[in-house]
Amino acid sequence: MILIGLKNIFARQLPNMPKEYIVRLLMDRKHKSVMVLRNNEVEGGIPLVVGGITYRPYHRQRFGEIAFCAISADEQVKGYGTRLMNHLKEHARDVDGLTHFLTYADNNAVGYFVKQSFTKEIYLEKDVWHGYIKDYDGVLLMECRIDPKLKYTNLASMISQQRQAIDEMIRELSNCQNVYQVAEFQKKEGGSSKNIRVEDIPGLRDAGWTSDQWGHTRYKLFSGSGDSVTKQKQLNALIRGLLKTMQDHTDAWPFIEPVDSVDVPDYYKIIKDPIDLKTIGKSVESEQYYVTLDMFVADARRMFNNCRTYNSPDTVYYRCATKLQAHFFSKVQAALQSGAKPQ
């Protein structure tokens, strides 16, 4: 009955797979299934199936073929897929004696398998697996090597301990653990703006800042004479132009607004320092936040890096980040070569 529940999930989540084919492999005694069950929810006396993986171990060749992998649609983005794969790797290594997994992944599944340490390059010798696994058209063959010693089911705890050890070492070398209460960059009082001097920002001097670093930039801008006010106006004009070239680009759509936590619940758990074109635009509008081109470029670079950190290389978001970044830096270079006038 539990296998029937898993079959129903596979049938819903893998609509291109014939139901008869799913049943035949799922019920085959040569195949094994690892499942996530919700014991506190029972249907007909049977625990509710959240998802699972069906695979066939080839003991003599010491590899396994993953046939089906799916999580119920209403239970996704909760980490079940990763925990399921970790349990599978540990079981396959310790019980079945396997060293590798192979699977065919379609475009929707490639990103998941990449996050689970599967690669598009097949390092396992072809003689070991060729002729054993089933061939599929229009999908990508991927491989995962199972670490012989890693405690996969204890990964979260192990990573937490490593982070704690690294944090302790960092605290011995720096004062980054000190948190200072910093006033807002600009406050409105009676309709007028009140600016905060850089040297008055708490903790800045403790971090090693000195007054001669103010306005330091690696970019050589606006050659010739001119007071600081004039140069700041020139910098603001340059940055406005560069921002507009990003906003108008066809690949800018993922970055126009902040990521919605309702649509992407785990985004802000992974990306701790988010940034987007709307947020950058507000800083540009203040005309006082970006005192160097370096600061503006750093925010843009962070925006692209955040996107590539969260999204896998096969996604449209990752490709948009790469294309928009190339476009942005080409405009920066062109502006510098033309005397810091954005094109």
Residues taking part in catalysis: 65
How distant, in Å, are the alpha carbons of 14, 18, 80 from that of 22? Answer: 9, 6, 21
For residue 55, how far is the Cα from the chain centroid?
27
The token pair at 169 is 């070492």
Total number of residues shown for the chain: 343
**Do the Cβ atoms of 10 and 68 come closer than 8 Å?**
yes
Distance CA 86, CA 151 (A): 9
User: Can you spell out the DSSP letters for 55-77?
Assistant: EEEETTTTEEEEEEEEE-GGGTT
**Do the Cβ atoms of 308 and 101 come closer than 8 Å?**
no
DSSP 260: P
**Do the Cβ atoms of 71 and 80 come closer than 8 Å?**
yes
Q: Identify which of 137, 149, 144 has the alpha carbon closest to the alpha carbon of residue 112.
A: 144
